[in-house]
Chain A
Amino acid sequence: MTGSAPGPVAGERFRALVPPLIDDAYTLAKWICRDPADAEDIVQEAALRALRALETTSVERPKAWFLAIVRNAAITWMARNRPKDVSYAGDAADLDALDPRLGEAAPDPEAALIALEDGERLRQAIAALPAALRETLVMRDVHGLSYRDIAEAIGAPVGTVMSRLARARGALAKMLKTEP
């Protein structure tokens, strides 16, 4: 329905709901696709999808709802424009290989703390996580979504969310400890 004006109800719902979440949407899209310009395209596409959906849907938990749309818009966008980069479907086995445990405590707790203080290094470590772990971690720790909301957004059981989150955090803890 690109080009046609939204109905008055959808328009009103959209104005109440989407603009306040624009920063969340942009942040999540950027973490998923790791490119600011692509993130803008994804958010615009997600907003259009949201507007379409609001013709027939009213929404109880706007943030979880809209971020799920953003996530799915990002996945389709990546599949269309960067097919080589999409690893969502194929990496289940790789994920299982990732150990959720935090590893042994750092021999030098001081160094571990300093690593955490280094924001750039932590951002790089998050960006280096496998896509499925990264999106789960970001939805939880950046956007504060509940396990249930994340499970609905990614279309997986809560158990999967829990294990991906644990693996993501375990991997981060190790990366920060071992990398220079």
Chain B
Amino acid sequence: MTDDPDDRILRLNAALDSELDAMSALEFERELASDPALAADYRRLEALRRAIRRSAPLEAAPPALADRVAALAPPSPRSTRVFPAPRRRLPAARPFALAASMAAIGLAVGAGVMSLRTQNAAQGVAQALVSDFAQAEIAGQPYAIASSDRHTVKPWLASRTTVSAAIVDLANQGFPLAGGRVAVVDRIPAPTLVYRHGEHMVAVTELPPDAQGVRGGGAIETVDGYHVARWSDANLAYVAVSDMDEKTLAEFVAAFREARKPTAEERR
């Protein structure tokens, strides 16, 4: 198109960055096919960019920094949109605390209150996690640490959350690990693993087994157009949110549960 060496190199870079318009891109493809020197330069640039991406990955911010930043806008306890569960829990906490010295009675009261609230709290957790999923998707940040290596994801999550993340690789089952992030449920940071399936994502959030509203019957629900599955094992409760179809999500859950069968050691 042009003989100016500067223009040529600018176009080479723009092509590499997918910043050429459709016509120019087509033309560039043709030139690439007929000009071995251009093709060689293109390959060198590509190799350089690959190396840059590999050598200069995103660095995890120090957890203390993340905490300081989060503290700039702490969630309001009366916030109704993202964290509905704590609002409901507050009035119930008092009778539970009063009865705490009498363990048996305390337990009975607590259990009764819990079953009354389960339905609402369950909706709250699902809703919060669906909002979280949608926001992460819209922000183009489905995970805060991108890695298919569970030995990278685990320490990252461990430094930011209190639940120990159970990380399994499901690449062989068609759901490669894509990364991890932290979801906030009831104002508690909870480790969330993001798996990929083609164009779709599924985010599994791990919660303490006694967290409000995480017990589910195994049926898949639909919340705001996303599918939600809930289950628990001996150690943890899980909530999976996905934009996959119901059947695929069910397959994912089955694969995850199979892979996560607690070992005897973990049952403690």
Binding site for B on A (CB under 8 A): 6, 8, 10-12, 14-27, 30-31, 40, 43-44, 47-48, 51, 61-63, 100-102, 105, 112-113, 116-117, 119-120, 122-123, 126, 137-138, 140-143, 146-147, 162-163, 165-166, 169-170, 172-173, 176
B82 to A12, Cβ gap below 8 A? yes
B53 within 8 A of A: yes
Chain A residues within 8 Å of B61, by CB: 22-23, 25-26, 40, 43
B5 within 8 A of A: yes
A63 to B72, Cβ gap below 8 A? no
Annotate B10-53 by CB proximity to A: 1 below 8 A, 0 otherwise. Answer: 10111001010000000000000000000011001101111111
Taken together as a complex, chains A and B put the C-alpha atoms of A14 and B74 apart, in Å, by 10
A15 with B10, Cβ < 8 A, contacts A22-B61, A26-B61, A123-B56 known: no
Taken together as a complex, chains A and B put the C-alpha atoms of A21 and B65 apart, in Å, by 12
CB distance from B142 to the nearest CB of A (A): 9
Would you give 27 A-B contacts (Cβ < 8 Å), ordered by A?
A11-B73, A11-B74, A12-B79, A17-B139, A22-B69, A22-B144, A26-B65, A27-B58, A40-B62, A62-B139, A100-B6, A101-B5, A116-B50, A119-B51, A119-B55, A122-B51, A122-B56, A140-B17, A141-B56, A143-B58, A147-B14, A147-B17, A162-B14, A165-B17, A172-B48, A173-B45, A176-B48
B72 to A47, Cβ gap below 8 A? yes
- Choose one: B13, B48, B73, B182; the contact of A51 (CB below 8 Å): B73
**From B70, which residue of chain A is reached at the shortest CB distance?**
A19
Chain A residues within 8 Å of B14, by CB: 147, 162
Chain B residues within 8 Å of A101, by CB: 5, 9
B139 to A16, Cβ gap below 8 A? yes
A116 to B47, Cβ gap below 8 A? yes
**From A21, which residue of chain B is reached at the shortest CB distance?**
B141
Chain B residues within 8 Å of A63, by CB: 139-141
Interface of chain B residues 135 through 154 with chain A (CB within 8 A): 135-136, 139-141, 144-145
B76 within 8 A of A: yes
**From B181, which residue of chain A is reached at the shortest CB distance?**
A20
A141 with B70, Cβ < 8 A, contacts A20-B144, A44-B65, A173-B44 known: no
CB distance from A162 to the nearest CB of B (A): 5
Chain B residues within 8 Å of A23, by CB: 58-61, 144-145
B76 to A11, Cβ gap below 8 A? yes
Chain A residues within 8 Å of B6, by CB: 100, 163, 166
Taken together as a complex, chains A and B put the C-alpha atoms of A44 and B82 apart, in Å, by 24
Q: Shortest 8 CB-CB distances between A and B: which pairs?
A: A119-B55, A26-B61, A116-B51, A11-B73, A14-B73, A20-B141, A122-B55, A47-B69
**From A113, which residue of chain B is reached at the shortest CB distance?**
B47
Chain B residues within 8 Å of A165, by CB: 13, 17
- Choose one: B40, B50, B66; the contact of A19 (CB below 8 Å): B66
B261 within 8 A of A: no
Taken together as a complex, chains A and B put the C-alpha atoms of A119 and B51 apart, in Å, by 8
A163 with B10, Cβ < 8 A, contacts A18-B69, A169-B48 known: yes
B81 within 8 A of A: yes
B268 within 8 A of A: no
- Choose one: B10, B58, B62; the contact of A162 (CB below 8 Å): B10
**From B64, which residue of chain A is reached at the shortest CB distance?**
A40
CB distance from B9 to the nearest CB of A (A): 5
Q: List 20 additional contacts besides A26-B60, A119-B55, A163-B6; criterion CB under 8 Å.
A: A8-B76, A11-B75, A15-B70, A15-B75, A16-B139, A19-B66, A43-B69, A61-B140, A102-B9, A116-B51, A119-B54, A120-B55, A122-B55, A123-B55, A126-B52, A141-B49, A141-B53, A141-B56, A142-B58, A146-B19
CB distance from A11 to the nearest CB of B (A): 4
A44 to B68, Cβ gap below 8 A? yes
- Choose one: A15, A105, A169; the contact of B73 (CB below 8 Å): A15
**From B61, which residue of chain A is reached at the shortest CB distance?**
A26
CB distance from A133 to the nearest CB of B (A): 13
**From A30, which residue of chain B is reached at the shortest CB distance?**
B59
A162 to B13, Cβ gap below 8 A? yes
